[in-house]
């Protein structure tokens, strides 16, 4: 999937989560955080089919547990707060999560089992429920389908993110134009496992729920689940997609050509948001893409790519523009995947050119000046070619900087 | 093993690797590095039984591969260089490693299959063989059993270490005094898996080889394998112990009381060296001990403790003296081990006192001033108590500081 060639019908359009027909949103500061936006509402005009993937962390926030139970329902809306993760908050936290859903359900005049919730921020702190309940009611009066409201919604879910993460695309399914919109947040505790940080995607496509879930799960595996900022899998990760049929396409009920086009557009959105998240990783100065080719199995390729992207020693070398390729082969070696070191080759590349440092198990004498030029660029590609098979995978991540340490040494204060 | 109560007979004595009878050593600058000591020789007067544990990284340096094949032989000496890891150096690297052994074997007038080798430093660079061969011959003339020579040997294996790591102990086995000496090096790429960075231990005990290996393997699992500086498992990790019988104790040939005493003393040495390594972790400002109690299995307790000690978010919080316990329970949650979050409790402690932040799944309101006092200390203990079983484990590590990033962003330059 990650090497998917997208069909030409996919076009990026302006806006994000309200771009598909029948979706509205709002985002505002309500008082959970000191100054920044901390609450987001998403609404579907009509009940929408929903699919989701959720954190594999054993310690799950109440919103994760609750959404997993409700995801097969038709969904009318999602309420998301930032600033407080409402994780590890015991029974009080579970009650508060339920109350958050109930308050928004009352605004929507809907059953609370059709409302999903999400929280992100500090673990172990209780939600300020009076502030939140008042905030939801006030914010609902601002809900709209314009670009500004979608932008506010993208801001309302941010924590240490430095920019909001949005995208919208349209494609043709049959003779109908179908739209997809998405928002996501980073940017620390990012090492998704079967799910991810928060991402919310809307589409006006008409698609059967089990196929919606299948398309989402497969896409997430190759997008969010292949990025890492710091190797920490959060307690609150989730990706939710809502599909409300407003595009009027012939219902997708089988894995046919229409399904394929749907999935390609959905995956385009997910890859784009995943890239935005790593580009905005905490303290990031360089973006890193690790491409592993020639592995025996796809899982081997993935394990190796993730092991490299996640190595503190590789990350600090990239921060220091140092072509220290030994750390790359070392990280591949402890990934748990099998491969033949004697057949391994490593190349660094960027817009400034490419440099080979290791060729079929032997070190290559390379031009250090040229290597420095290649590695001074903002986006670095690392290609590890093996000679064991034909499977490949791409992982995306970022460097490890002084700023990351600073941000995370001072997070609560 | 990690909760072992040591018998009173174990006494720390002066010196290190030459403290047991019949062992000699030397260390010196020979020109592999610019200025610092880069070569170490260890010699046993008489052929010694040997045991070893080696890196589980798929990418193994030639010294690791070679030593694994020779470890059952009687061993006369070990030659170790620092500055160049001689890993990922292809066939030339393997030949150079063999040549290194041959050169030292000629000095010892022994077969080269009785000589072990080790290298540590930069991956992917070839050893300067002329410099090294001359260095070995010159250094052999300095070999001695005095304290200074042992100290030089400890320095000769250092890379980014800021102090040499040495220990010697003696204990009684039967009516004989038996001594153990050890040296080790850190201090980056430290996340041992069944083996570790480099550690060399000598003893004059008389013990059957298979029992020597068993005692070593079990001890390594609970000492070096439970520490982490940066989550990167090196290509060159190894621990070697040599036992030369010079103490004259009744040979240890069964898992009896003598074996138990031998193993306790060996484990004391290993735990001590492992602690020295994390205390000298790259850029370390704080030492961290994570104790997990109440897990179902020992393996669960270990997985949880290692997941916590290895989390960048926990490490930066400790660097920032921030009682951000949510990151601890989060890291426990993604460790892969099963436990009941609702039964989990967390306590931070140091010489400045103790503070509970999470009690049976519920956050505890705590005094932030007191927490800061506790966490400002140099040695921080984190206790995670579960209610699922009776197994426990201790992992040891360090914080993640600006200095770590600096050291590793500039390693090759």
Torsion of CA B63, B244, B3, B348, to 10 degrees: -50
Percent of chain A exceeding pLDDT 70 equals 94
- For residue B54, the model assigns a pLDDT of 87
| Residue B207 DSSP one-character state | B
What Rg value do the Cα atoms of chain A yield, rounded? 22
How confident is the prediction for chain B on average, in pLDDT? 89
- For residue B234, the model assigns a pLDDT of 73
Same fold, A11-279 and A287-409: no
Helices and strands (DSSP H and E) totals, chain A? 11, 16
Q: State yes or no: pLDDT of B4 exceeds 70.
A: no
Q: B196-211 pLDDT, tens per residue?
A: 468 889 999 999 999 9
Please, which pLDDT band fits residue A24 given cuts at 50, 70 and 90? very high
Q: Which residues have CB under 8 Å from B365's CB, separation 6+? A: none
Q: B369-406 pLDDT, tens per residue?
A: 999 999 999 999 999 999 999 999 999 988 988 888 88
Residue B326 CA to residue A85 CA, distance in Å, equals 10
Please, which pLDDT band fits residue B220 given cuts at 50, 70 and 90? confident
Mean pLDDT over A36-49 rounds to: 95
The alpha-carbon gap from A329 to the nearest alpha carbon of chain B, in Å, equals 7
Our answer to whether residue A196 is catalytic in this structure is yes
Q: Is A326 on the interface with B (CB under 8 A)?
A: yes
Six token digits for residue B34 = 């610019």
**B2-11, B51-60, B233-242: the lowest-pLDDT one:** B2-11
Q: Is A400 on the interface with B (CB under 8 A)?
A: yes
Residue A230 CA to residue A64 CA, distance in Å, equals 21
Q: Is B368 on the interface with A (CB under 8 A)?
A: no
Determine, for residues B232 and A330 on separate chains, whether the beta-carbon distance falls below 8 Å. yes
Nearest CA in chain A to B337: A58
- For residue A408, the model assigns a pLDDT of 77
**Cα–Cα nearest to B200, from B266, B248, B144:** B266
| Cα–Cα distances in angstroms (integers) from residue B297 to residues B19, B258, B293, B300, in the given order | 38, 29, 10, 5
Q: State yes or no: pLDDT of B99 exceeds 70.
A: yes
Instruction: Say whether domain A11-279 belongs to CATH 1.10.620.20.
Output: no
- For residue A337, the model assigns a pLDDT of 93
Mean pLDDT over B271-289 rounds to: 85
Sequence spans of domains, chain A: 11-279, 287-409
Please, which pLDDT band fits residue A103 given cuts at 50, 70 and 90? very high
- For residue B192, the model assigns a pLDDT of 58
Six token digits for residue B171 = 């204990």
Determine, for residues B329 and A412 on separate chains, whether the beta-carbon distance falls below 8 Å. no
Which chain B residues are closer than 8 Å to A334 by Cβ? Answer: 56-58, 191, 193, 232-233
Helices A62-70 and A90-108: crossing angle in degrees, nearest 10, is 50
Please, which pLDDT band fits residue A21 given cuts at 50, 70 and 90? very high
Strands A39-54 and A238-243: antiparallel
Supply the DSSP string of A158-188, one letter for each residue.
Answer: -SS-SS-EEEEEEEEETTEEEEEEEEEE--S
Six token digits for residue B35 = 């200025």
Q: State yes or no: pLDDT of A277 exceeds 50.
A: yes
**Cα–Cα nearest to B46, from B248, B269, B200:** B248
Facing A88 at nearest CB: one of B230, B320, B363 = B363
Task: Give the number of beta-carbon pairs within 8 Å between A and B.
Answer: 220
Q: What does chain A come to in residues?
A: 413
**A174-188, A229-243, A390-404, B82-96: the lowest-pLDDT one:** A229-243
Residue B196 CA to residue B66 CA, distance in Å, equals 16
Q: A50-74 pLDDT, tens per residue?
A: 998 888 788 889 999 999 999 999 9
Please, which pLDDT band fits residue A189 given cuts at 50, 70 and 90? low
Superfamily holding B287-409: ArgJ beta chain, C-terminal domain (3.10.20.340)
Q: State yes or no: pLDDT of A181 exceeds 90.
A: yes
pTM of the model: 0.80
Q: Is B85 on the interface with A (CB under 8 A)?
A: yes
- For residue B88, the model assigns a pLDDT of 86
How confident is the prediction for chain A on average, in pLDDT? 89
Residue B335 CA to residue B131 CA, distance in Å, equals 46
Q: B189-198 pLDDT, tens per residue?
A: 666 554 446 8
Phi–psi pair at B292, nearest 5 degrees: -105, 125
Disruptive mutation site among B330, B346, B362 for chain A (greatest number of A CBs within 10 Å): B330
Residue A315 CA to residue A52 CA, distance in Å, equals 31
**Cα–Cα nearest to A179, from A138, A139, A153, A150:** A150
- For residue B55, the model assigns a pLDDT of 83
């Amino acid at each position: 999937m990650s090497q998917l060639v997208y069909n030409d019908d996919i076009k990026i359009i302006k806006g994000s989560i309200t771009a598909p027909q029948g979706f509205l949103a709002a985002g505002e500061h309500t008082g959970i955080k000191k100054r920044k936006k901390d609450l987001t509402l998403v609404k579907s005009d009509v009940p929408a089919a929903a699919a989701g993937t959720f954190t594999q962390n054993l310690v799950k926030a109440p919103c994760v547990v609750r959404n997993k139970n409700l995801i097969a329902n038709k969904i009318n809306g999602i309420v998301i707060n930032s600033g407080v993760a409402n994780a590890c908050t015991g029974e009080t936290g579970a009650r508060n999560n339920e109350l958050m859903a109930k308050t928004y359900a009352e605004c929507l005049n809907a059953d609370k089992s059709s409302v999903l919730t999400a929280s992100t921020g500090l673990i172990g702190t209780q939600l300020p429920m009076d502030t939140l309940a008042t905030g939801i009611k006030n914010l609902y009066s601002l809900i709209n389908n314009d670009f500004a409201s979608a932008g506010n919604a993208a801001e309302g879910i941010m924590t240490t993110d430095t920019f909001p993460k949005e995208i919208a695309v349209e494609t043709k399914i049959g003779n109908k134009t179908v739209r997809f919109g998405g928002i996501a947040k980073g940017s620390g505790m990012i090492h998704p496992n079967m799910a991810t940080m928060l991402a919310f995607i809307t589409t006006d496509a008409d698609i059967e729920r089990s196929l919606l879930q299948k398309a989402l799960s497969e896409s997430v595996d190759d997008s969010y689940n292949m990025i890492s900022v710091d190797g920490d899998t959060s307690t609150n990760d989730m990706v939710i997609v809502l599909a409300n049929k407003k595009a009027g396409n012939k219902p997708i009920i089988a894995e046919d050509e229409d399904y394929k086009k749907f999935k390609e557009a959905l995956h385009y959105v997910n890859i784009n948001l995943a890239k935005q998240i790593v580009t905005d990783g905490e303290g990031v100065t360089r973006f890193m893409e690790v491409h592993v080719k020639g592995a025996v199995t796809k899982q081997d390729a993935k394990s190796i790519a993730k092991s490299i992207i996640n190595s503190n020693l590789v990350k600090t070398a990239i921060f220091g523009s140092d072509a220290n390729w030994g750390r790359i082969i070392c990280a591949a070696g402890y990934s748990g995947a099998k491969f033949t070191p004697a057949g391994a080759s490593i190349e660094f590349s960027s817009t400034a050119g490419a440099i080979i440092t290791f060729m079929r198990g032997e070190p290559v004498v390379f031009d250090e000046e040229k290597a420095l030029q290649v590695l001074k660029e903002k986006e670095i590609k690392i290609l590890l070619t093996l000679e064991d098979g034909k499977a490949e995978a791409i992982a995306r991540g970022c460097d490890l900087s002084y700023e990351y340490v600073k941000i995370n040494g001072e997070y609560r204060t």
